[in-house]
Amino acid sequence: MMRIDKRKLGDARGHFSRLFCNQELAGAGLDMEIAQINHSYSARKGTLRGMHFQYPPASEVKIVSCLRGRILDVAVDLREGSDSFGRWTAVELSAENWCSLYIPPGFAHGFQTLEPDVELLYLHSAPYTPDCEGGVNPLDDEIGIKWPLDVTEISPRDQALPTLRNLPRKISPDAATAPPR
């Protein structure tokens, strides 16, 4: 995972910013071709979404940006056998700090809104593939994500996701290293 810091160029009219540049990613040793772009809106502070991923062969890179509001963005390493398996990393994303999070294949992604009226933009290297969708429970005690707020909203589907220990399929580090083309 990598935090991507972006620049806003502003004047009296407002601002301009580049959200994605393949050359800049390549310069950091990362690769991504965009296959799908998604947008989400969360109305309430404390909303929890996740933790979602896609199994191989539809594993994907995600780049997540916060366009409005503020979130704690979290990724969990699901690559069995990796040194960081089961560990989570969190980055605050906001419309003010204007950074993004690059999430490689083999990681589950989720977030909690830190204020109301939050909008996110997601860039995906693979299209949504229902047969390959997966998820791990964001409240799994074994993973132990420290959500900063009480959960005010969570979908029944996310609440019913399996724990890390009970995932129906495993992800090998090799299967998750490269995004599909």
Catalytic residues, by residue number, are 52, 122
DSSP string of 129-158, one letter each residue:
-GGGEEE--TT-TTT----SS---B--HHH
pTM given for the model: 0.90
Locus of tokens 């996110």: 120
With the CA atoms of 59, 172, 159 and 91 taken in that order, what torsion angle do they form, in degrees rounded to the nearest 10? -70
Tens digit of each residue's pLDDT (9 = 90 or more) over 43-100: 999 999 999 999 999 999 999 999 999 999 999 999 999 999 999 999 999 999 989 9
How far apart (Å, rounded) are the C-alpha atoms in residues 134 and 112? Answer: 19
Would you say residue 30 has pLDDT above 60?
yes
State which amino acid sits at residue 16: F
What domains can be seen in the chain, in order of their start residue? 2-9+17-165 (2.60.120.10)
70: which strand partners? 94
How far apart (Å, rounded) are the C-alpha atoms in residues 134 and 4? Answer: 25
Would you say residue 152 has pLDDT above 90?
yes
